[in-house]
Chain A
């Protein structure tokens, strides 16, 4: 019973914000200010619009207005074949395109009831983890920039460049890679791929320490992030928040461990977990995740098996009538694809379960009663990509 009561309370907290100013106590009688943050704002990470109801600097409530980047990805999917839709998913979370592609290919493979060959799975893991690193680096840079530290941005972009170089060498594209195909990978690894991955791991380990020197013990950074944007583990579950945000709140849950896919069960890595559920812990969790990703890459490169990179799959796939849901751990959280097949070459319906979209919903809960500057910090710490929120 108390469970219901609790969730009902949190449900009311995400209620639509009334735009009319509410009368406040007479002794502190100031007008409530309605402030638009975004879509043309430096730190809403794209075209997010947040309407803030302010009392001075204090946030009384927020409402997110999204959809500025809505392209109807799900509608497009219904008019493309399975293979043709593959590049579109890269455009959702464009900073983690490899993860998107991995999730999509795996979902379709599941629908076809096939599996990618082991070598392809390893390559997928390597690229997906590199992409996780790239995504976290971009997050770190922009998040630090939101809080006012401008330098980490350039450091992380410098190092992310190395990852993009590997992508470029592997599949010719840097950002929207379209690296995977249904049934495996289109390309065999290039000459020296393993060495480059190994060198990258060696190169980037001290760089992560470098970011930490700039921020982890920086007094202002700690003051700005500790206790800011708190969300409890239970609230995370109720709000469907996943990924590093959930783990920072103390819930040890990572789909790579809970429901391993693409051979993640073969690798030895830890799930970093925070305790306080605040912005600082989310920062620490992501930093630790970067180190874990390096571990996975190292192992995957060492264990990289020989063999084909592509399963026997027809050019135009035609799954049986049926539906599957497949969720993977993207850098932002649980990225799920719900695919309904009607037996034709085109999906009947593809539903993308975007982590950014669901996580963004918790923004209001996290910033109520905080200050304007915290809103920026929390938007940064949720790590949203508007391409994925709006799809």
Chain B
């Protein structure tokens, strides 16, 4: 049903228009008095000691990688869930094997300490 996708583009156009139009209106009506101190990054009233673009702790990247792994696996579950009845026992067993692999990986990362934050 390709015609069901037409509204998406219409909708996103309107959604794009809202922030853009309001920001433009706001730009027209708001005052603009920049000052060196105003334009400084916020650091509780103190000049920042170092840059905020430094390398951040690796924990967050681990979370990102784990997310990619798990979320992609979740995507595989959707078509299976839709066709679940049709696939019957075969599909169930197949998916259980798949999930078992997933769970083994999950247990492994747990044991490895990747889920520990500190």
Select one of A19, A28, A57 contacting B58, CB under 8 A. A28
B32 at the interface (CB under 8 A from A): no
Known: A34-B49, A34-B50. A55 touches B44 (CB 8 A): no
Q: Give the complex CA separation of A40 and B47 in angstroms.
A: 12
CA–CA, A37 to B46, complex, Å?
A: 9
Q: Indicate which residue in B43, B45, B46, B57 contacts A30 across the interface (CB closer than 8 Å).
A: B57
Q: Residues of A contacting B43 with CB < 8 Å?
A: 35-36
Inter-subunit contact B44/A31 (CB<8 Å)? no
Count B-side interface residues using an 8 Å CB cutoff.
16
Asked if A371 is an interface residue, CB under 8 A from chain B, the answer is yes
Main secondary structure of the interface of B (DSSP, over half): loop
Instruction: Verify B54–A31 contact, CB threshold 8 A.
Output: yes
Bound form: Cα–Cα A242–B48 in Å: 34
Contacts of A39 in B (CB 8 A): 44-46
Interface residue? B117 (CB, 8 A)? yes
How large, as a class, is the contact surface on chain A?
20 to 34
User: Are A33 and B118 touching (Cβ within 8 A)?
Assistant: no
Q: Confirm or deny: B27 has a beta carbon within 8 angstroms of a beta carbon on chain A.
A: no
User: Contact at A58–B118, with CB atoms within 8 Å?
Assistant: yes
Asked whether A37 lies within 8 Å of B44 as measured between CB atoms, the reply is yes
State the CA gap A33–B49 with chains docked (Å): 9
A57 touches B46 (CB 8 A): no
B binding-site residues for A, Cβ under 8 Å: 43-46, 48-50, 54-60, 117-118
Cβ contacts under 8 Å, B49 to chain A: 19, 34, 36, 51
Residue contact A30 to B56, C-beta cutoff 8 Å: yes
5 A-B pairs closest in CB distance: A56-B57, A31-B54, A40-B45, A34-B49, A36-B46
Tell me whether A122 is interfacial, beta carbon within 8 Å: no
Q: Residue A49 at the B interface, CB < 8 A?
A: yes
Q: Provided the pairs A19-B49, A31-B55, A33-B56 are in contact, do residues A38 and B118 lie with their beta carbons within 8 angstroms?
A: no
Let me know if A29 and B55 touch, CB within 8 A: yes
Report the minimal beta-carbon distance from B46 to chain A, rounded to whole angstroms.
5
Q: How many angstroms from the CA of A287 to the CA of B116 in the assembled complex?
A: 33
Of the candidates A19, A30, A37, A49, which one forms a contact with B55 in the assembled complex, judged by CB atoms under 8 Å apart?
A: A30
Chain A positions within 8 Å of B44 at CB level? 36-41, 49
Contact A57 B117, CB 8 Å, known A30-B55, A38-B44, A39-B44: yes
A49 to B49, CA, bound (A): 14
User: By the criterion CB–CB under 8 Å, are B56 and A31 in contact?
Assistant: yes
